[in-house]
């Protein structure tokens, strides 16, 4: 006896709009500022820590461009991989029309670096802050069960968290923000491109 197969068409999930993502950014930033305040530090001091701002910007742009290029090449080589398709499917739920990828990348880069690197890393260290960074992305990546795909995704996120944490620690927050924004811009435009090809 074979199980019944539902013949109902799959219901398309509504896109996650820019306003919802910006609210997440505001919430993350407010939490980060509260944690920074409780550590008796200041945002100004955190932004001035590390290398001079101009050097941080230059390093951030160069490292961000290299990281984005490597991520794009990895996508091209692995686009038929289950993990890669899963990430594209997860992020294609975002409203990525127009300049939304840039706005989302700026919000995520600034908000997440302020929270995970500037606020949490001084309290918890690079490894634990990176682990929390992974946990914070579980819903975005739709990691519903512990599978090979979710382990690959979590490992990539953890490595990214450590990479950004080391940049924050040795170069500065501005550099970490620039790298994060660059990677996210490249990633979101890649998702938009891959999603539009799938829809055709």
Average pLDDT rounded to a whole number, residues 161-185: 95
DSSP string, 102-141: HHHHHHHHHHHIIIIIIIIHHHH-HHHHHHHHHHHTTTTT
Q: SS3 for 178?
A: helix
What digits encode the pLDDT tens for the residues 108-161?
Answer: 999 999 999 999 999 999 999 999 999 988 887 777 778 887 788 888 899 999
Question: For position 47, what pLDDT does the model report?
Answer: 84
Residue 177: band (very low, low, confident or very high) from pLDDT cuts 50, 70, 90: very high
DSSP bridge pairs for 16:
94
DSSP bridge pairs for 94:
16
Domain boundaries, the chain: 18-199
Whole-number Å distance between alpha carbons of 121 and 129: 5
Question: For position 199, what pLDDT does the model report?
Answer: 54
- Report yes or no: 48 and 171 within 8 Å, Cβ to Cβ: no
What digits encode the pLDDT tens for the residues 10-67?
Answer: 445 667 788 888 898 999 999 999 998 888 888 788 888 889 999 999 999 999 999 8
What digits encode the pLDDT tens for the residues 64-111?
Answer: 999 888 888 888 888 787 777 877 887 888 888 889 899 999 999 999
Whole-number Å distance between alpha carbons of 81 and 26: 34
C-alpha closest to that of 105 among 186, 24, 165: 186
Number of H helices, E strands in the chain: 9, 0
Distance spanning both ends of the chain, measured CA to CA: 37
- pTM for this structure? 0.86
Whether 2 shows a pLDDT value over 50: the answer reads: no
């Amino acid at each position: 006896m074979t199980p019944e197969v539902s013949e109902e068409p799959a219901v398309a999930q509504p896109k996650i709009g820019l306003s919802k993502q910006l609210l997440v950014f505001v919430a993350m930033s407010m939490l980060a500022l509260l944690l920074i305040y409780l550590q008796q530090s200041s945002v100004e001091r955190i932004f001035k820590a590390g290398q001079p701002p101009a050097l941080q910007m230059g390093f951030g742009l160069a490292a961000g461009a290299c990281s984005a290029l490597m991520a794009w090449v990895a996508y091209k080589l692995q686009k038929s991989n289950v993990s890669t398709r899963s990430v594209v499917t997860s992020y294609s739920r975002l409203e990525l029309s127009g300049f939304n990828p840039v706005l989302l990348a700026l919000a995520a880069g600034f908000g997440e670096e302020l929270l995970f690197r500037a606020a949490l890393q001084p309290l918890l260290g690079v490894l634990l802050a990176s682990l929390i960074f992974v946990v914070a992305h579980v819903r975005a990546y739709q990691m519903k069960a512990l599978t090979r795909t979710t382990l690959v995704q979590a490992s990539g996120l953890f490595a990214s968290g450590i990479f950004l944490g080391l940049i924050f620690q040795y170069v500065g927050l501005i550099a970490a923000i620039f790298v994060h924004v660059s990677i996210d811009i490249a990633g979101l435009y890649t998702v938009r491109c891959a999603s539009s090809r799938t829809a055709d």
